[in-house]
Structure 1
Amino acid sequence: FDLASLKGKKVMVVNTASKCGLTPQYKILQEIYDQYGGEKFEIIGFPANTFMNQEPGTNDEISTFCSSNYGVTFPMMSKISVKGDDIHPLYAWLTQKSENGKLDAEVTWNFQKFLIDENGNLVDFLKPADKPDDKKVTDWLKK
């Protein structure tokens, strides 16, 4: 996946898990992707087994699960770590004000959502239980 392809787009980055109580958020993520995705908006899912081993599958198993159960068509990346000593560099940037210049936002559970503007700046984040189609998100997408 070429991150340069995101230039000029609003982006939602979300850490995902297949065996979590919040897993049904995939359905809402796909709905907003269907409505807003394309030239101006992208969702990128990052499977992570960081919390209670709720993403135990291989990358292929995760991809099959997402497409067959939720019809996911937005990009799903390879499994990563979203906190701790082996945190992925993107998540180090997303979660540390010293890196992103905006805010500290430690990932507290699966399905935490980060909003990035067209210029690659972190705008805000939503807590895991916040729905992906929260008014904060839809208002931001309509700007």
Structure 2
Amino acid sequence: MKRPVAISDSANFYVSAERIFDPTLKNVPVIVLSNNDGCAIARSDEAKALGIKMGTPLHHIREKVDAHGIRVFSSNYTLYGDISRRVVEVYEDFTPNVEIYSIDECFLDFVGFKDRTAHAMALRAAVLRRVGVPVRIGIAPTKTLA
């Protein structure tokens, strides 16, 4: 691998951010709605398992929400931006070059690290410990492959 690059992706980012401040949401189906509260734009794994699809209008799943006790949240972009900033701060402790791709994804320069897998695992653990957000990391020679 000539120039290793990693991509980080925060798992169910908006839901994960909501769970930081309300631990009772763990293992509970949760959806976060678009800025007009019209559609599901983030879903916990539990909500996905109930068949809630990305972009589904809330009025199409109202019965499912009521039947399964799905917790529903309006988007809080100020909160999500702050959590994203905190995640990036952890990344900056692990690599000198962080390229923000979106609110929940970054490219990370992994050049110079002999055991990239161990480095990625340590980074994931640090983000979870310091911020409370689970992240996934892919490593490859190019951004596209990562």
Question: Shared fold by TM > 0.5?
Answer: no
Specify which structure has the bigger relative contact order, considering alpha-carbon pairs within 8 angstroms and separated by 6 or more residues.
Answer: 2
Rg (Cα) greater in structure: 2
- TM-score normalised by length of structure 1: 0.29
